[in-house]
Amino acid sequence: MRCPTCREPLHELEWRWRIPKKTDDKEWKNLEHKVSLQKVERSVARNKIKEEKISKIEGMMESTENQRDSDRRSRKLTELSKERNRIQKTYTEPGGSGNEMKHEFTVYDLNLTYKGSNVCGDLLKEILSRTAVLVDTNTPVVKLASTFQDVHFVMGRTLSNETENPAAAYLKKGKVDGLQNLFALETSESNGVPHYVIHRGCENWREIFREDPKPLSLLNEEEVEEFNSELKRASILTEVETKRLQGSDIIRKEILELKASNETPYVKSIELSIRAFALHLIEGPHRKKEARKVSDNHPNVLGDTILVQEALLLGIPIVSSDRDVTSIAGFAGVTVIKPEQVGTGQPM
**Tens-digit pLDDT string for the chain (348 aa):** 566 666 666 666 655 567 778 788 777 777 776 666 666 666 677 777 778 888 888 888 998 899 888 888 888 898 888 888 877 776 654 444 444 445 678 889 999 999 888 767 899 999 999 999 998 877 878 788 888 989 999 987 654 333 444 444 444 444 555 578 888 887 777 666 788 888 887 655 544 444 444 555 555 666 556 556 788 888 999 999 999 999 999 999 999 999 999 999 999 999 999 999 999 999 998 888 999 999 998 877 888 999 999 999 999 999 999 999 999 999 999 999 999 888 776 554
Q: What is the pLDDT of residue 311?
A: 95
Q: Are both 109 and 88 inside the same structural domain?
A: no
Q: What pLDDT score does 229 carry?
A: 74
Residue 298 lies inside a defined structural domain of this protein: yes
Based on the fold, state whether residues 111 and 55 are members of the same structural domain.
Answer: no
Both 123 and 206 in one domain: the answer is yes
What is the count of structural domains for the chain?
Answer: 3
Q: For residue 100, is it within any domain?
A: no
Tell me: do 234 and 151 sit in the same domain: no
pLDDT at site 6: 63
Question: What is the per-residue pLDDT for 301?
Answer: 86
Helix axis angle, 265-283 relative to 230-246, nearest 10°?
70
The answer on 246 and 337 residing in a single domain is: yes
Measuring CA to CA, which residue among 42, 49, 76 is closest to residue 62? 76
256 plus 330 within the same structural domain: yes
Torsion angle of the four alpha carbons 313, 99, 48, 36, in this order, in degrees rounded to the nearest 10: 60
Assigned domain for 43 exists = yes
Identify the domain boundary among 212, 235, 264: 212
One domain, residues 126 and 196: yes
Q: Would 220 be classed as within a structural domain?
A: no
Same-domain pairing of 207 and 233: no
322 and 252 both lie in a single domain: yes
Whether residue 348 is contained in a domain is answered as no
134 in a structural domain: yes
In a domain, 326, yes or no: yes
Residues 167 and 244 placed together within one structural domain of the fold: no
- Domain with 60 in it: 25-92
What distances in angstroms separate CA 274 from CA 53, 82, 243, 309, 334, one per listed residue?
A: 45, 55, 8, 8, 14
